[in-house]
Amino acid sequence: MTDPRNPTEEPAQASVGARPPAATWRPVDSTGGSLPADEDDRQWDLRVRGENRIEQLDRNFATLLQELRVVQTGVQVLTGILLTLPFQSRFPELSPAMRVNYLAVAAASIAATVFLTAPVAAHRMLFRRHRLEHIVRSAHHCAVIGILFLGLALTGVAVLIFDFVAGPVPAVIAGITAALLFVLLWFALPYHQRARDGRVEEHGPPRDPRVGRRFRRP
């Protein structure tokens, strides 16, 4: 029988390792509250964090700006350096192919700068227009596109430097290695984790990645 002092205790007659049907089970979060399988992100924030929709959007935008600060400085410095290269005395020594590569790298770096600073400009242009949800959504997309252009620019820079110092073969190797690292660490692994967290388990309800793996009856 179930102990009335502990309503979450398993029945004594239940076999070891047995689990009731998925609909009767809910994961328990770090605060001790159950997380229904059909609970979305907004409901979770309201129940666990005590945030309404506006507070959630404010936090999301502040978090996004903190992330953008990590990359904005580096992108701006990279763009500034690239823009000064044509005025260096040894720039004419670049081969025609590397000049094309330089132009592509400079264009990608400028594009990354534009996309990574776009959320700030959008927030300022829509200030006090009550469009915060639109700003957060568009800022997320701009950040992803900006990071993509940054990866392209850094890959091109690796090719440019290695070609100038060591030759075309090391340049190709460096470019492929840099591209693989960016694709793997910046996109493939995060999206793999995202897909795995969103996949329904075969023997139970969906498990939210933010909570523990304990289960109890509702």
Task: Write the burial class of residue 95 (CB in 10 Å: 0-12 exposed, 13-18 middle, 19+ buried).
Answer: exposed
Q: Note the pLDDT of residue 5.
A: 52
Q: What is the domain partition of the chain in residue ranges?
A: 53-197
Contact 24, 218 (CB under 8 A): yes
Q: Note the pLDDT of residue 213.
A: 46
Q: Give the CA distances from residue 40 to residues 35, 56, 179, 198, in Å, rounded to whole numbers and listed in that order.
A: 10, 13, 35, 12
Q: Note the pLDDT of residue 103.
A: 96
Please provide the CATH number assigned to the domain covering 53-197. 1.20.140
Q: In this predicted model, what pLDDT tens digit does every residue of 172-201 receive, in sequence order?
A: 999 999 999 999 999 899 888 878 766 544
Closest CA to 100 of 163, 166, 170: 163
Contact 108, 179 (CB under 8 A): no
3-state secondary structure 74-106: HHHHHHHHHHHHHHCCCHHHCCHHHHHHHHHHH
Kindly give, in sequence order, each residue whose CB lies less than 8 Å from that of residue 14, ignoring residues fewer than 6 positions away: none
Contact 217, 20 (CB under 8 A): yes
What is the number of H-type helices and E-type strands within the chain? 6, 2
Q: Note the pLDDT of residue 180.
A: 96
User: Per-residue confidence of the chain (218 residues) as pLDDT tens digits?
Assistant: 545 454 444 444 444 444 444 444 344 444 444 444 445 667 766 776 777 778 888 888 888 889 888 888 889 899 999 999 999 998 998 999 999 999 999 999 999 999 999 998 888 888 887 778 888 899 999 999 999 999 999 999 999 999 999 999 999 999 999 999 999 999 899 888 878 766 544 344 444 445 444 444 44
